Amino acid sequence: MTDVKSEKSSRTASGWSRRSVLKATSAGAVGAAATPLFFTQNAWAEKAIGNYPVKGSEVVLGFNVPQTGAYADEGADELRAYKLAVKHLNNGGGMLDTLKPSKLTGNGILGKKVAYVTGDTQTNADASRTSARRMIERDKVIMVTGGSSSGIAIAQQYLCNELGIIFMCGLTHSNDTTGKDKQRYGFRHFFNAHMTGKALSPVLSKEYGKDRRAFHLTADYSWGHTQQQSMQEFTEKEGWSTEGNIMTPLKTTDFSQYLSQVLNSDADVLVLNHYGANMVNSLTNAVNFGMRDMQKNGKNLEIVVPLYSRLMAKGAGSTNIDGVLGTSGWNWALEDEGSKVFVKTFTDEYGFPPSQAAHTCYVQTLLYANACEMAGTFYPPEVIKALEDFRFTGAGNGDTLYRGADHQCIKDILVMQGNSPSARTSDFDYLKIIDQVDAKTVDYDPAIFGGELGPYVPA
């Protein structure tokens, strides 16, 4: 009763009591705090996914790269690129000036300062998953990116999809990554084996003729298998025949037992579907077997390396790669504005030009950040929608589409040729660009590889 009395006695002339004023103020404060959400796209549907919502003044990104193991050098270059991307996101500069359309301001992402944690994939699926899970659960990263192998990328992509964390693939070239294993939360900027086959085969038939017999040596894992299938498909369309294919264990260091099979066949082209140390060893072994100076069927025996990288070329040595054809996603010698500014800022920072692995990782980080800015939120389904079918330019590969149907970037790719030792002017030009194949030529129907992206909100 006392309460009622006092309430009545404290009522103002306008009919407001102190309590009702307090109630209204509290409700107003709550409403005001929540107001930004009302104006965010689809905010009514937002709920906690992965590490969303992001708390505090920082947003943390997870860079999971091979810091030990066979791809450690590539991983080190990826990490350099990621650190540079963070620097540019927080302070401006680099491709922030060339990427179009872009909402990046150089003031972090959505006003939050960008921080990062790093992990070591060890080029091992289990280790990469453990490392990614640690970043997600302990360090509360909003996005994971990295990797130098398709098997590792696919493993992390599945994990991140399950946990509601966007995974921006690093260096992965298997058709499966955005094919049968594609995931709603996985995105690949790098090109793939199918695009390599499509771009490279016409160049091969022009250089070596249409009546050729190919023998494939193939790394026995996801990437190798799809690379071999794509090369076989497109070289046969050019009129070549396939003499044989041997799957080689990933840990092989001496390929002589497989090269003996090639010697014993009628093949006049050797296609090495190998990457990293595998390619370095198989190519070096093939050269030792005299295959660069050999004739078969009245023609010079040729060696093809479908996927090239500068580090691999350096490992094999310019004498061995002299004249050998392959493809790359990007090269530091490109002259477009995006490439030039990236090469300059990277070189200023580290003293040498970036690799294609560094390029794709740098661009992926910027694209994710830009998608958050465009969506106006870190809420993963909205960021995914912002990335899907996003068309952009100024990132080093001409006009590029992040295709919504399979999360594969459709962009120009490069046909490369090994430089001779005498043509080299520095320790970084082991390869030269002989053709830039446009995005339209390497485009394909995403349905051919099957797979399902799955829902925007993980189950």
DSSP reduced 3-state for 152: helix
CB nearer another protein, residue 257 or residue 420: 257
Q: CB 322 → another protein: shortest distance, Å?
A: 13
Residue from 95, 93, 136, 87 nearest 115 by CA? 87
Binder among 110, 247, 401, 457 for another protein (CB under 8 A) = 247
Residue from 107, 121, 98 nearest 169 by CA? 121
Query: Binding of another protein at residue 69 (CB under 8 A)?
Result: yes
CB nearer another protein, residue 89 or residue 291: 291
Query: Binding of another protein at residue 428 (CB under 8 A)?
Result: no
What's the gap between Cα 42 and its chain centre?
Answer: 28
Residue from 441, 437, 435, 367 nearest 407 by CA? 367
Residue that the structure tokens 């943390």 belong to: 60
Contacts to another protein from residues 194-213, by CB under 8 A: none
Rounded-to-integer distance, Cα 217 and Cα 303, Å? 11
Check if the beta carbon of residue 177 is closer than 8 Å to that of residue 167: no
Binder among 317, 404, 451, 454 for another protein (CB under 8 A) = 317
Site string for another protein, 13-52 (x = CB under 8 A): ----------------------------------------
Residue that the structure tokens 């209204």 belong to: 24
Residue from 291, 295, 248, 249 nearest 270 by CA? 291
Side chain identity at residue 456, one-letter code: Y
What's the gap between Cα 168 and its chain centre?
Answer: 6
Binder among 52, 71, 215, 332 for another protein (CB under 8 A) = 71
Beta-strand pair 143-146/166-169? parallel
Query: Binding of another protein at residue 253 (CB under 8 A)?
Result: yes
CB nearer another protein, residue 219 or residue 414: 219
Binder among 65, 311, 357, 374 for another protein (CB under 8 A) = 311
Query: Binding of another protein at residue 277 (CB under 8 A)?
Result: yes
CB nearer another protein, residue 6 or residue 256: 256
- Which spans of this chain sit near another protein (rule: CB under 8 A)? 68-73, 220, 244, 246-249, 251, 253-254, 256-258, 260-261, 263-264, 277, 280-281, 284-285, 288-290, 294, 311, 314-317, 319-320
